[in-house]
Amino acid sequence: MLFAATFLATTWAVPLARATDAPADACSLLTAGDVSKTIGQAYGAPQKSVAPRPYANTVEGTDCRYESNGNGKELWFRVYFDPSPSATTELFAKLKAFYSPPTPVSGIGDEAYIDPRHGLHVRKGNVRFFLDLGESEKQIKILPAWSRGDFKGVSTLCHDSSCALT
pLDDT digits (tens, 9 = 90+) for 13-50: 444 444 457 788 999 888 898 888 877 788 999 999 99
pLDDT above 90 covers a percentage of the chain that reads 33
Per-residue model confidence (pLDDT) at position 2: 47
Question: Interior CA angle at 153 toward 147 and 156, to 5°?
Answer: 70
pLDDT (tens, 9 = 90+) of the chain, 166 residues, equals 444 455 455 454 444 444 457 788 999 888 898 888 877 788 999 999 999 999 999 999 999 999 988 776 788 999 999 999 999 999 999 999 988 899 888 878 899 888 888 888 989 999 999 888 775 555 545 545 554 555 555 554 443 444 433 3
Q: What's at 44, amino acid-wise? A: G
Per-residue model confidence (pLDDT) at position 94: 94
Per-residue model confidence (pLDDT) at position 69: 81
- Order of strands across the sheet that contains 47-51: 47-51, 61-67, 74-81, 127-132, 120-124, 111-114, 103-104
Per-residue model confidence (pLDDT) at position 40: 79
Domain chopping of the chain, boundaries: 2-163
> For the whole model, what pTM was predicted?
0.76
Q: Domain 2-163, what fold? A: Protein Transport Mog1p; Chain A (3.40.1000)
Per-residue model confidence (pLDDT) at position 74: 85
Per-residue model confidence (pLDDT) at position 151: 57
Per-residue model confidence (pLDDT) at position 59: 95
For residue 140, what are the contacts with CB-CB under 8 A and spacing of at least 6? 1, 2, 3, 4
